[in-house]
Structure 1
């Protein structure tokens, strides 16, 4: 079978021995581990100590030694000049004579040892016997230093002592230990980004966040020119808390502050303070602030501070010692211990400021809260420009159009869109990333992967088309509904069908706008009841969103005729854990108001669909035929949208068919269908 991958052969050629699982090390950047040398030397010395002396020795007198030599019972002699002793190997046939009954215990290498009167006298005696009797006795004189012999004897013990000292220093975080031993668990795990090490992140690398950058600019100016403030008696805030949704660039902004000020930057996560050992968190806080004082002026950045800064006393641990609370207490103490102009500024980031301890947020600790919000249209343009720099794009890519197509996207989401578009273009063997690739990337991120091969019967497909056409029809005729961009019945992710809208970016929402959005959400279920005669499980996501919105309007926003101007929302984050803030009769009234509100919008949806039943049917037929419709299809059927909006004008200003943004979709999975 021919290999379809043209790079397969090259990849095999490039594969070298020594990969993980082998013994070789082909990575030139990976240093040789010197501990292997220590291990080999240890094994050699231990082997010499335990297995080098594989002989048994019997001590004899000088007269007995002379007798054995004269009787030719000695095979070889080693004379140690520095010790005045000699060791002689007994011939095997004479072992029983020399050792008697113990001959078997001395094995195949029987030796005797004797104290000699002198080296010269022993040499003359052996030479005389060999010359007169013709014996074949091998004689060797050993002049090895006694110090070296002692060293070889005690080498294993010295090795054990050295190994023990090395282990203790490593456990205590000494040289080579990198602070990772059991005695260094109280050391700070903060990563230091020094001002002279590597490229720096500056405000030029942070797109958008114009208001947040203005807030932190004063911190940068203080670190650069502290005398301008201290000379007038001013005091810089000790800490600033960056608050905002995930992915908005809080960590990047903190690094940019350190880069602009050109000072050391300590970065640590809130979870790094918490360990299973008691007292470790407080010890790491002390060590972190000690290092910061040594490096001042500097910035200490604590990411996800809610892991350690959660309000105390909310989760009572039945009287036991709470390590997290001890860590927080130490953090509060250390922040109070700083002088006003010590040059150490604390930055922290969280997206759950409502659960932080009040003592942490008071003046003198985190004096300022800097809100890092989701980027608006202009900020999204700047963010796209940053992430499009390394991507090869063609002239069809319009940054302004991409920014309008991504309302509600964070900086991390936009980076993901750019990367996904590049992957889609590479998958299609393109040389450049085109506009359609970005549109597909947005659809992929919002709705999930298309599943064109999903088994759906014709009856189910028709029901999905009628359902989605109901959403599209109501969004066209409701004044405050978001303008439609695209509707599809191709399954994507867990959704059987999806409708994309381009919502307006507004800061406040009126009751009429919310009611129109609820009515549009109920359009799918209303279309099923009107034009099919029976309802299905496909509207589960719509009903969930409508119900939550209705309860929010009544209990939080006070948008009820019977419960006006009342809000039961708890901004402290406790959410009334033990009891509700209203009585049972009020709860019944809230339930009744929710049912009434949803019923009114459902009847309104059915009335609008009945009035435009013919156009709805045409949309459903187009969906069944083409599986996708755009805003221009609705304009051909219904005419110009009676409620023109700024978003609608944006859509109409684009020459090509735009794809989408916000998804209102039915996410209930399709029930199992037996294969036909």
Structure 2
């Protein structure tokens, strides 16, 4: 019996049910105003006969067009002609004394009644009334019904149907928090074991976890609870994952939402949601509030005042500042936030007492990339030839999200080729697919263009092989990929700082493609666009950012705060010097590249011919042509800050 009760659906009151009695009420009103259902329509002859015989008791004229004629009850009993054509049913009664007559022209009808009353001495009377039909009611109310329906629809859409706590989809809950709650019923299953790498960041947040588990350890010594921690770093580095791991390790209620969830077109909604969020967090303390992409509401105030929603966003930020500074240390509520644009956040939000700690989550290094690969290959079926160490070296600059995408792409490539397991070559193909784009083998290229592309890519490979600080080449191809017609993959050295000689060698290797075109064909093409863009940025950084130019000197015109984006921080004379020095650096490396290629012209020709024959060559082919690099042992590790591919638009 108890099981049956459990299985029976619980009766719940739905807000839509209020519309049912309203609809029934309007239908009933319409039916009551439809007129007498027992009335029988008569002709003008019948009506004249009724007048002459004085059988009419009264006449009700509705809407100046229809007359309901009521027969005297004693006449109804005496004369059966008023009932002989009527039959009883659910709606009609043959004893009804009501008849219906179309009056036509109202003035003529009234004159006819007056003349009949005077001529025959009639005792009847008539009266005018208004009657509305159901269709008239519906059509007259239809515009208002449509307006109300459209208004309700947009209110529900803007309030986020189905989201938020306490039924945030309802219009009256539009000011409620939209945070997704993870508590004892829906626990966060992510722990630090699921977060590969990020050792420094995990150490920072470990103390927050320890405090939530054992706050007395800190408070008994007079310490205060940290109010918040801000996770800063490039996209895809695992900031959100780290915050979930903190909640999973601490085992406390975890409120998760995005900064854009506070933004709404209604004035005051954002601030209301902030208040409701912190109210819920205090009720469930100790707890964690995680605001992802906090720059959506935390942008510095007073800037971009021309934007329409600026005041509302500032009100939301003001409320957030008040809440973070308003609750006491005994409430055990910690705010975690993540952003990749910390430089635009408001200074009041960044001060101690609100976000006490800023934890930088950087791109993973070689060792951390290896750990991330080990996490993401667990669900994959791998072949024995997969070398994770080599894959970690081949993916400099990849974030955790990029590595996850790489593993998935390798699985898709293996499945596309009907393989039973994922091989090492599938991972390498996935790297090429992600970095260089999809191969376009059907792209039509003339033999002349193909020769130019081959010498262009051979020029990159030759110059980079002969320079000490240039990244060693891994693979060169003249097969079109993405928007480029040729590409070269390198394995940059992992550096924490970059010296002038290293930057110049990289620029020289980048100019090797155009230098080869000039040397071989005595012509240059538009194919070096991406190369020129890269070296121009490097040269400008050397002169204006890093202070590596002797003519300009040890100054930098870089402003990390971004406040001087519309102000040129140097004079016109200095601007002229900067332009001259940038051009001098680029042209110097271009001439240097031509000189190197001229010295190894024969080997350049061999390499270009091999590219034309095979379309793809690897490091072993360069060793066969040029021999081993004498400084190769210094260039074995990847640099996460550098690119691992040269693209050309040939």
Hey, what's the Cα distance between the residues in 1 that align with 2:470 and 2:165?
Answer: 65
Q: Does 1:643 align with 2:625?
A: no
Determine the structure 1 residue equivalent to 2:393: 404
Hey, what's the Cα distance between the residues in 1 that align with 2:405 and 2:309?
Answer: 44
Determine the structure 1 residue equivalent to 2:647: 665
In the alignment, which of 559, 572, 578 is matched to residue 590 of structure 1?
578
Range moving further from structure 2, 379-388 or 239-248: 379-388
- How far does residue 49 in structure 1 lie from its aligned partner after superposition? 5.3
- 1:562-614 deviations in whole A, cap 9, x for unaligned? 1222111101122x233211111111111111111112111111110000000
Determine the structure 2 residue equivalent to 1:531: 520
Q: Could you say if the C-alpha distance between residues 649 and 320 of structure 1 is closer, same or farther in structure 2, counting changes exceeding 3 Å? A: closer
Q: Could you say if the C-alpha distance between residues 525 and 342 of structure 1 is closer, same or farther in structure 2, counting changes exceeding 3 Å? A: same
- How far does residue 63 in structure 1 lie from its aligned partner after superposition? 12
Range moving further from structure 2, 519-528 or 195-204: 195-204
In the alignment, which of 581, 587, 592 is matched to residue 599 of structure 1?
587
Hey, what's the Cα distance between the residues in 2 that align with 1:88 and 1:649?
Answer: 99
Q: Could you say if the C-alpha distance between residues 583 and 42 of structure 1 is closer, same or farther in structure 2, counting changes exceeding 3 Å? A: same
- How far does residue 399 in structure 1 lie from its aligned partner after superposition? 1.6
Hey, what's the Cα distance between the residues in 2 that align with 1:490 and 1:359?
Answer: 53
- What is the 5 A alignment of 1:416-427? 416-427=405-416
Which segments of 5 or more consecutive residues in structure 2 lack a partner in the other structure? 1-11, 40-55, 59-69, 104-144
- How far does residue 503 in structure 1 lie from its aligned partner after superposition? 1.1
In the alignment, which of 370, 373, 377 is matched to residue 362 of structure 2?
373
In the alignment, which of 297, 303, 306 is matched to residue 314 of structure 1?
303
2:187 touches 2:248 (CA, 8 Å); kept in 1? no
- 1:520-575 deviations in whole A, cap 9, x for unaligned? 0000010000011100000011011101100101111110111222111101122x
In the alignment, which of 210, 219, 237 is matched to residue 230 of structure 1?
219
- How far does residue 223 in structure 1 lie from its aligned partner after superposition? 0.6
- How far does residue 227 in structure 1 lie from its aligned partner after superposition? 1.1
- How far does residue 295 in structure 1 lie from its aligned partner after superposition? 1.5
In the alignment, which of 318, 322, 328 is matched to residue 317 of structure 2?
328
Determine the structure 1 residue equivalent to 2:380: 391
Determine the structure 1 residue equivalent to 2:459: 470
Q: Does 1:89 align with 2:71?
A: no
Hey, what's the Cα distance between the residues in 1 that align with 2:165 and 2:351?
Answer: 42
In the alignment, which of 614, 632, 644 is matched to residue 626 of structure 1?
614
Which segments of 5 or more consecutive residues in structure 1 lack a partner in the other structure? 1-31, 81-86, 106-159, 651-659, 671-676
Q: Could you say if the C-alpha distance between residues 333 and 504 of structure 1 is closer, same or farther in structure 2, counting changes exceeding 3 Å? A: same
Hey, what's the Cα distance between the residues in 2 that align with 1:319 and 1:374?
Answer: 36
Determine the structure 2 residue equivalent to 1:494: 483
- How far does residue 210 in structure 1 lie from its aligned partner after superposition? 1.1
Determine the structure 2 residue equivalent to 1:4: none
- 1:158-210 deviations in whole A, cap 9, x for unaligned? xx9xx99xx89x98999998222444332222111223315521111111111
Q: Could you say if the C-alpha distance between residues 63 and 254 of structure 1 is closer, same or farther in structure 2, counting changes exceeding 3 Å? A: closer
1:470 touches 1:526 (CA, 8 Å); kept in 2? yes
Hey, what's the Cα distance between the residues in 2 that align with 1:509 and 1:99?
Answer: 105
Hey, what's the Cα distance between the residues in 1 that align with 2:630 and 2:580?
Answer: 34
Other structure's SS at 2:585 match: helix
Hey, what's the Cα distance between the residues in 2 that align with 1:279 and 1:54?
Answer: 52
Determine the structure 2 residue equivalent to 1:560: 549
Determine the structure 2 residue equivalent to 1:282: 271
Determine the structure 2 residue equivalent to 1:301: 290
Q: Could you say if the C-alpha distance between residues 220 and 398 of structure 1 is closer, same or farther in structure 2, counting changes exceeding 3 Å? A: same
Cα RMSD after superposing both structures? 3.4
Hey, what's the Cα distance between the residues in 1 that align with 2:457 and 2:254?
Answer: 52
Hey, what's the Cα distance between the residues in 2 that align with 1:277 and 1:581?
Answer: 41
In the alignment, which of 608, 612, 615 is matched to residue 603 of structure 2?
615
Range moving further from structure 2, 613-622 or 196-205: 196-205
2:225 touches 2:332 (CA, 8 Å); kept in 1? no
Q: Could you say if the C-alpha distance between residues 261 and 567 of structure 1 is closer, same or farther in structure 2, counting changes exceeding 3 Å? A: same
Determine the structure 1 residue equivalent to 2:248: 259
Hey, what's the Cα distance between the residues in 1 that align with 2:584 and 2:276?
Answer: 60
1:239 touches 1:365 (CA, 8 Å); kept in 2? yes
Q: Could you say if the C-alpha distance between residues 387 and 320 of structure 1 is closer, same or farther in structure 2, counting changes exceeding 3 Å? A: closer
Hey, what's the Cα distance between the residues in 1 that align with 2:307 and 2:182?
Answer: 41
Q: Could you say if the C-alpha distance between residues 626 and 285 of structure 1 is closer, same or farther in structure 2, counting changes exceeding 3 Å? A: same
- How far does residue 450 in structure 1 lie from its aligned partner after superposition? 0.3
Other structure's SS at 2:646 match: strand
- How far does residue 625 in structure 1 lie from its aligned partner after superposition? 0.7
Q: Could you say if the C-alpha distance between residues 42 and 208 of structure 1 is closer, same or farther in structure 2, counting changes exceeding 3 Å? A: same
Q: TM-score, normalised by structure 2?
A: 0.79
Determine the structure 2 residue equivalent to 1:455: 444
Hey, what's the Cα distance between the residues in 1 that align with 2:182 and 2:556?
Answer: 47
Determine the structure 2 residue equivalent to 1:509: 498
- How far does residue 70 in structure 1 lie from its aligned partner after superposition? 5.9
Range moving further from structure 2, 578-587 or 60-69: 60-69
Hey, what's the Cα distance between the residues in 2 that align with 1:399 and 1:577?
Answer: 43
2:258 touches 2:291 (CA, 8 Å); kept in 1? yes
Range moving further from structure 2, 464-473 or 50-59: 50-59
In the alignment, which of 30, 35, 52 is matched to residue 50 of structure 1?
30
- 1:628-648 deviations in whole A, cap 9, x for unaligned? 111111111111112223544
Range moving further from structure 2, 265-274 or 525-534: 265-274
Hey, what's the Cα distance between the residues in 1 that align with 2:476 and 2:378?
Answer: 32
Determine the structure 2 residue equivalent to 1:206: 195
Other structure's SS at 2:632 match: coil
Q: Could you say if the C-alpha distance between residues 226 and 199 of structure 1 is closer, same or farther in structure 2, counting changes exceeding 3 Å? A: closer
Determine the structure 1 residue equivalent to 2:112: none
| Number of aligned residues | 556
In the alignment, which of 157, 168, 171 is matched to residue 179 of structure 1?
168
Determine the structure 2 residue equivalent to 1:68: 76
1:74 touches 1:89 (CA, 8 Å); kept in 2? no
Hey, what's the Cα distance between the residues in 2 that align with 1:37 and 1:57?
Answer: 34
Hey, what's the Cα distance between the residues in 1 that align with 2:71 and 2:401?
Answer: 95
Q: Could you say if the C-alpha distance between residues 343 and 649 of structure 1 is closer, same or farther in structure 2, counting changes exceeding 3 Å? A: closer
Hey, what's the Cα distance between the residues in 1 that align with 2:362 and 2:238?
Answer: 9
Q: Could you say if the C-alpha distance between residues 329 and 279 of structure 1 is closer, same or farther in structure 2, counting changes exceeding 3 Å? A: same
